Structure 1
Amino acid sequence: MNDRWLPAPEQIARALAEYLGRQGRAVKVLSTEDLSPGLGQSTVLRVRVDLGDGGTSGWIAKIPAGGNASLLELNDPALVEREARFLSSPLPAAIPTGLGTPPDAGAVRHEGRDWIFMRDVEKAIDHRWTPADAHDVARRLALLHALVAADHTLLATPWLERDGYVGYAHHVPAGHHNLGLLGEHARLASLFSPGQIRRLHACLDALDRLTAEADRITHTLLHGDLHVRNLGRTADGTLVLIDWEHVGAGPVGIDLATFVSLYRLFGGEGELDEEALLAEYAAALSEVASRDLRADAELGFAICHLTWGLHLRLGPGLTAVRQDVFGESETELARHVEDIRSGALRALAWAKRLGIGEEKD
């Protein structure tokens, strides 16, 4: 059931006026478009407004608690307030040149709710992502570590997400269950070989080991949900990152892994050379940190594919396919089945390098 709260234009106008410090001055909402993500926890609106200064402008209004509660929110109570806290903190202004938040992004507390406003960056977000862009993303992601290098106390910020790379670990039992039922679904019966299924079970069971490995490697500031739909490129070449509700502290390599993991599913073009991307990221990261972090970056990258990526695909991913969530859309179904297959095989490749599971079918 979708119980999303949709504010009236007058409410949006009052909240934006307060955010801009224009109380008592005319702000008129000319149009609204609901961009809210499915059953997500936020209400997201594109609004066109007249600020009474002779022109109109486009804004995005986001109300983090305007949507539906989810298991992620239940496991992470700070989720609904984290992005507003981040945008109200000094962190966005400290992000090095080359990365950034959308223009005029910030938050205001209005009538008992957090409201996030930013200039509409639709053109930047609508960028066609290519492998060349992906290499640029890999190099620039290392810049987030510059904040940690400058202030080692940053990662103690209390509202940062912790251990986001295991944010879907509650789906491990469902992953085991779904693997056991593959033979009952015509589309999934030949998805993996028997040997691959055994090794995928072993990967799911390796959670404690992977968490211990993650704890011992270098941590950094993470966007936490980086993929091409949360990333844009402005006219001056700046990479604009949106949706910071998972901003957190975690192992180096995690953001790059989520970007690579969802690249094709979310519309990226061409095939990525993951080894080359990882090498570029690790080299840039080592330069920022003034020490060799290549081994740490590789391990963090691998751990994310074996946790976040695998838990998401074998849990809710396979469940959605088994329950025919995609209905009669053969194209959509095929796209998700291929994502599950490729993501799981990627995890198995890293598992082999880490000595997890069987070596042979």
Structure 2
Amino acid sequence: MRKVLVTGGTGYIGSHTAIQLANAGFEVVILDNLSNSSKGVVARIEELSKRQVDFIEGDIRDHELLRNIFSQHTFDSVIHFAGLKAVGESEEQPLRYFDNNVSGSIVLFDEMIKAGVYKLIFSSSATVYGDPGYVCYSENTPLAPINVYGRTKLMVEDILRDLKKSQPKWQIALLRYFNPVGAHESGRIGENPFGVPNNLMPFISQVAIGRRSKLMVYGNDYATPDGTGLRDYIHVEDLAAGHVAALKTLGDVNPFITLNLGTGKPYSVLEMISAFERASGIKIPYEIVGRRAGDLSEYYANADLAKEILGWQAKLGIDRMCADTWCWQKSNPEGYGID
């Protein structure tokens, strides 16, 4: 059985991917410092996958811990999710983001080399593209991130490109996400941000459940059909499936791949609100306020290359995204609580 180390594996995307990995026959070991996730997620991963998952609480910046992990396990590959991911927070705390996202990745890659593990899936982001002046982003879109978070992702991508040049034995997939939403259809795992949500869907669902009074819509004067920003939302289950497909595809024929994971169809903020109201039967109160600095009016993925190389494409649409989010939120009104 192939064994994979999943850093950040109790987080939103990591937990959904861990289930799909286990279902695909991989033996899963999770490393997470629980800075934005809950240990109780592990039991739910095991419940849903019906497989045992090894969990290690710790930080990717801890050389000694990683050395011990790699000495105790024989890994075929690593999926690297662990990282801070709030754009606004990254602007306020740049050193923290560079330390965690970039320095932490360097420590991880160094210990992988020492352990002889050269197969890696890296969780990157569409923020590496910045604002190119057009709205459909392919993998050839210029890389010019406009915030600290995006720059940390691009720096790690650059490190991995240089590693591949210096040591051709590396097999690497850079997966650039657009806007993950949704939850496992069971309602047992989902997005559970600590504090005030930074993303639209968990904010909407927390308003629906009564944890927040209303949603703030930042700007309705964009050059879009209804004036609100358009984004490419992708169901987290589709995103997780993309990671499993990438892990299976990486090899001698495809040793280094860079792929967008998105749907190619953007939805506006108001369209997402309407879809969630349909799914939940609850009216979502919202207030139009001024634009946020750095927000773009519209962007979405050209994901044709992922379909060509991985045989993967997003399958789940906006109604399923909202239905699964609501199933998760109404079943877990306080998130994972004390799990």
TM-score of the pair, normalised by structure 1: 0.24
Q: Which of these two proteins has the greater Rg computed from alpha carbons?
A: 1
More helix by share: 1
TM-score of the pair, normalised by structure 2: 0.25
